[in-house]
Amino acid sequence: MVCGNFGGLWFDVFLIVCVVRTCTCLTFKYHNNSELEQVLKNFTNTTTNIKTRLENIGNSFNRIPLWAIELTAAEENTLGVPNIKLIGNIHGNEAVGREIILNFMEYLRTEYDRNTTIQWLLNNTRMHFLPTMNPDGFAVSHEGMCSGEYGRNNGKQGDVEDLNRNFPDFFHDNKIPRQPETVAVMRWMDRIPFILSAGLHGGAVVANYPFDTVKEESWKTLLRRIEKARNSQEEYRLRLHYLASKPINPPSLTPDDDVFRHLATVYANNHLTMHKGVICDNGKKFKGGITNGAAWYPFSGGMQDFNYAKHGCMELTLEISCCKFPRASELPHLWEENKMALLRYVMEAHRGVTGQLLDSVTNLPVSKANLQIYGRNMTFHPTKNGEFWRLLLPGEYQIQVDAPGYYSTLQGFTVRNFSADQLPSLTKLKILLLNSTIPTTPKAETPPSSTPTIGRDLRETTAEEGQTTTLLEFNLLGHFQRSADSKSEYSKGLKPDIFSCFLSMIIIEIFLFVVL
């Protein structure tokens, strides 16, 4: 009997140890860099209801690994699935973001099997998380440090470079030496076509949207002063003086300002307090809890500007706590303030357009092209699979495609509106590009035209499980119309045009007769 009880006791102890070792055991505390790595590994090992992928995207100045984790329930090769990323702790002494991200990951995993909205989100989205971009600065910062610059930057003492001033700038030549953390994130962006992003900061409560940088000559003096004074108390003094004097700065607006204002408003309105215009110690009040970056204070080399200008990824800088490094006891409240705002924000990745560029003859993806939404002078590019995404508000738009070796194409499409109780759905396009070696009309009629081809809007909308897909065909000056491939992810519900097919056959026969 004694031996039996003794054996049972050891079994219970063994079982408890196993549970402890495999559980993420996430608590409201600041996890140091070693603990953070272990939390992410445990999270990956213990998640069974959704797919996870943990990778080291690079190392910090002090050779600390930068761990990023992907979370999704989407099928591996499904087209049109948007990629989203959340990055925390860009400034080492602004620590709340790294813990908010960990709690958001845990929330998504826990709620997946019982919350239909989160289930839809993960089934149709690829979520990526980088809880800390600056483990160096975090390591030398201290809980309770609400202000100051100590630990803000990377390096052994957190005083080397400001990582949010270290990216290539849209208007200026950024000569600050590129840091390993910045290079790692830039390479990460090169590999994954992120469409929506957020960087989590501290020291204010506001949703900040691009541009932070300014083009005007009058601001270059200020930018030079700040650059020369960086990593010193003088820079901190300059910024305090700048904020305290409350100058009226002109905003630096992007061609997609309406979308950025919408995204910022979505976050602020779903945050428990941000939309009220919280006043922190610097005395600045932001109407509606949002601000254009340059209208607050301008600087060059920011990460959100680089995301947008280089990759077409719309990123906000989310300032989520007045105190940069508040006591751990405040983390539960800060999590509750930001939980719904984060959820509603990432859902916005499904408001806009996605599509694929294909060769009209081979049906193979076209990966090298410049794309613009007509009237919005900002170029973006497709992936190696010819896929593209763009966040847009409801309305009528045209997309211009310029690909080497193909006729220029202008294609119309519609972005639907969705009510508050509806799940959004991306408008899906399939754009067939005609090789420029193929004449646009038979030689017997007219010489080849140099006029860009126009993609006419031949939409057919199908409603399936509450989602609307807009399908577009390539129409070459009204003479050449191809039906979309019924097997394509972007072609569900499209029906062939019998008359156009018959007309195309006649044209092809005439063309072959003339050539042969």
CA-CA distance, 216 to 249, in Å (whole number)?
11
Residue 28 reports pLDDT greater than 60: yes
User: Quick one: average pLDDT of 489-510?
Assistant: 47
- Helix and strand numbers (H, E) in the chain are 13, 19
Quick one: pLDDT at residue 283? Answer: 72
What pTM was computed for the model?
0.79
Residue 256 reports pLDDT greater than 60: yes
Quick one: pLDDT at residue 445? Answer: 45
Residue 251 reports pLDDT greater than 50: yes
User: Quick one: average pLDDT of 168-172?
Assistant: 94
The confidence band for 438, taking pLDDT boundaries of 50, 70 and 90, is confident
CA-CA distance, 224 to 485, in Å (whole number)?
55
Q: Provide the token pair at 147.
A: 């202000």
Q: Which residue has the higher pLDDT, 88 or 76?
A: 88
Q: Provide the token pair at 249.
A: 């700065």
Quick one: pLDDT at residue 420? Answer: 79
Structural domains present in the chain: 25-349 (3.40.630.10), 352-515 (2.60.40.1120)
Q: pLDDT tens for residues 347-386?
A: 999 999 999 999 999 999 999 999 999 999 999 999 999 9
The confidence band for 77, taking pLDDT boundaries of 50, 70 and 90, is confident
Quick one: pLDDT at residue 403? Answer: 97
User: Quick one: average pLDDT of 407-427?
Assistant: 93
User: Quick one: average pLDDT of 274-287?
Assistant: 88
Would strands 480-481 and 475-476 be described as parallel, antiparallel, or unpaired? antiparallel
**Cα four-point dihedral sign 87, 92, 96, 101:** positive
Concerning whether 509 is annotated as a catalytic residue, the answer is no
Catalytic position from the list 94, 161, 181, 319: 319
- On average, the pLDDT of the chain sits at 83
Within 13 Å and on the Cβ side, how many CA atoms surround 239?
Answer: 19
Quick one: pLDDT at residue 484? Answer: 35
Quick one: pLDDT at residue 509? Answer: 60
Q: Provide the token pair at 516.
A: 């042969």
User: Quick one: average pLDDT of 389-411?
Assistant: 97
Q: pLDDT tens for residues 209-240?
A: 999 999 864 545 555 666 666 666 666 666 66
CA-CA distance, 496 to 486, in Å (whole number)?
10
**In the beta sheet, which residues pair with residue 196?**
84, 314
Sequence-ordered list of residues with C-beta below 8 angstroms from that of 19, at least 6 positions apart, any chain: none
Calculate helix-pair angle for 33-46, 2-22, nearest 10 degrees.
110
CA-CA distance, 367 to 385, in Å (whole number)?
6
